[in-house]
Structure 1
């Protein structure tokens, strides 16, 4: 009998897209995941960070999480779960001792001793070792120095991450050398393809790391944070991606889980597609073209499909704006709900809102991008990049404090 391991990440329980709650999407995913674990004889479930969408999740989100764990218990599947940049280490770790009795290992934040990251799993005559590394926060990996520059901070963060994973590998070689080894991590690896829904971390991802920092020791690296499933660098270093599309930028992404089967000292790696429970789509064109697509639409999804509309017309017309506003407030038809929209007039009238004439929506931009746009409007400001870098540091400190609360 071989050890079978399932790698997933970025559940973002409690996620909402504008006014739509994704609780039902997650319920359907959890139902599918339970069946997947049972049918594929999975021995170990790895969840690599961003369990919740908010540092302080709602009672509904917590209830959904615990109900899923309860459903898992009869399957005798070992669970190893780490905290991500959206998670509060304290929230994840609060039930730690109780969950360990149920064979559920949680590592919400960096522990005092590196030994607390390691889990040894044995199934019959086979063993595997997992280092459950959570999201590494600034305070975990470097000391703040007075007067350090922005570039200094980026370099220190990179070095701190590399040093931490080097220490993880050294501990493995000292205590478990020769046993098949998996490292979990929640970070941005350079070269990974990202979507809109990943919150900027570690100063706008400029402190992204090379995949080489994981070293030669791990037989598999189970990554979280990037929502598109993909290989980074080598075939054994992978993002499983999020189980559902979390923004319109992910509308074309296939979602999947990764399954590892240990045979001897090597892992056979395969992917299993997750069914789509609803579609996210973009509808572009004139008012007439958009209305026809909506009228002809027929959904085949178990949940209501969600659309963003982007209208483009030659001349400004107040009636076109009224139609867009009506689309955004109308109840779903044909299994389709219009969730967001923009309108652009090629021949704009003086005084028309720039937001509308550019076809832009504030929800399409991160706080940093909005700050950059504001700076662009004031030509008197020099050295704008310094302001942007300072703003990014402020945003990161706010995210870090949210997660600590």
Structure 2
């Protein structure tokens, strides 16, 4: 069957969902083709995610696709945690204590502006998990119960080199020919694996998502980079992260608030005389819930990169987060490759995409 392709950015995926909706398709069935498992149904009309796959059903599908060749790590198979993390990073799921975090951030902002309450400059430091979960770019701004808003730009930030190296150290794995062959023996739709030859593995792809958040932190929020010495294991790395922030705060006479989603890091922060602010990860995923229409493209993008490819089944559209020829620039610009059937909506989406790019080019020109 002949297919047509478009390379689109994360934000441009909104054009894809709009084109599907205007074509009188209200429901999009989103699946992971390598497991043959539907992840959820997107009701564009509300918009709402419905029939989100349950953990036991997902785990059963994953276990049935474990490689027969034991030299191929099962870690390359996306887990239910990957799905939940995408729902969190896209902003569909909230942190369990997000309202409390909102109140504390607003209080911190107000106190930092009052020299009688906080005479020293206040900086917000980030732990590695904050970058993976994309809290700053995807969950902020936040609004409290009285309507007050807190934005990412309300604070000054600092990031340890240990955090940056922790992310960078995971950008190592590419699929070998033997791995592709072994996965093809157990995966559904093995023909799609040709796109992954010499492509980035799952952990590498997820780390590249965190690198995009790092770029946002350093470029948009102008975070300061501070020195730190990485350790050989994660537990000691966490201590080194906290210690690097502690030494920097002491040497400059600053107050540092450490954002983290790790219980142990809270302990390390307190030991380092930092002020921890812990985000509590939600473990329960509802079977259905409303989604902000602007977050739909974020979710599709995060899923495509994390899982490698997803299908919009009833439209016969596949969205590749990894494909043959994908460059570092494609990752930096948050590109995906969208593959349409010959008689699909390629021409409609392509036409609207060209118009939007032309208009934005004029606006930025």
TM-score of the pair, normalised by structure 2:
0.28
Normalized per residue, which structure has more strand? Answer: 1
TM-score, with structure 1 as normaliser: 0.26
Larger radius of gyration: 1
- Structure with bigger helix share is 2
